[in-house]
Amino acid sequence: MSALQELLIDEMQDLLHAENQLVKALPKMARAASNPKLKQAFENHLEETKGHVERLKQAFELLGSKPKAKVCKAMQGLVEEGSEQIQEGKDKQDSVADLMLVAAAQKVEHYEISGYGTLRAVAEQLGQSKVAKLLAQTLSEEEKADKLLTQLSPPLLNEASQQPEEEE
């Protein structure tokens, strides 16, 4: 196996673990969200994320490798940070708590976008066009999720700025 193919498989193992962590974390984020559109965005992305796991498994199969997850410490940290945001948000006004969730979620999306973008390029370099297509499809969904979070922010910011400051 070439060094590039080893890299591709190793990083796919990392992303498989990351996506599985998100399958567990997204329902918690959806429950914590007050804004109905944000709640729906998390619920919709949960279903997409389950599809990301399946696509990664297909990509492993195409490469003749077992879909084995490797601990993704970066995602563990991002998920832990999201959990902290949920806890801290309980003492904040709803729009501020939702903005905290958006910030945590966008950090996750940016991590995934960089991972899938790199892996798609590696798969293309290896001539693994079917694998590259699967990774590109997931990359597109991650970018769409990030854009949606960006679009949901201005109304939350407006709402938060119109609320009186809470006493500490």
Q: Would you list the domain boundaries of the chain? A: 3-152
Backbone torsions φ then ψ of 12, nearest 5 degrees:
-65, -35
Summarised one tens digit per residue, pLDDT across range 98-130 is 999 999 999 999 999 999 999 999 999 999 999
56-60, 66-70, 150-154, 158-162: least confidently modelled range? 158-162
Contact criterion met (CB below 8 Å) for 69 and 16: yes
Write down the pLDDT at residue 168: 46
Summarised one tens digit per residue, pLDDT across range 28-83 is 999 999 999 999 999 999 999 999 999 999 999 999 999 999 999 999 999 999 99
Write down the pLDDT at residue 1: 74
Confidence band for 163, pLDDT divided at 50, 70 and 90: confident
Q: What gap in Å lies between CA 46 and CA 40, rounded to an integer?
A: 10
Cβ-count burial of 70 within 10 angstroms (0-12 exposed, 13-18 middle, 19+ buried)? middle
Contact criterion met (CB below 8 Å) for 78 and 63: no
User: Can you give the pTM of this predicted structure?
Assistant: 0.92
Q: What gap in Å lies between CA 72 and CA 16, rounded to an integer?
A: 9
Check residue 115 and give left, alpha or beta (phi > 0: left; psi -120 to 50: alpha): alpha
Question: Using alpha carbons only, how large is the chain's radius of gyration in Å?
Answer: 18
Could you say which of 1.20.1260.10, 2.40.170.20, 3.40.50.1970, 3.40.50.300 is the CATH number of the domain covering 3-152?
Answer: 1.20.1260.10
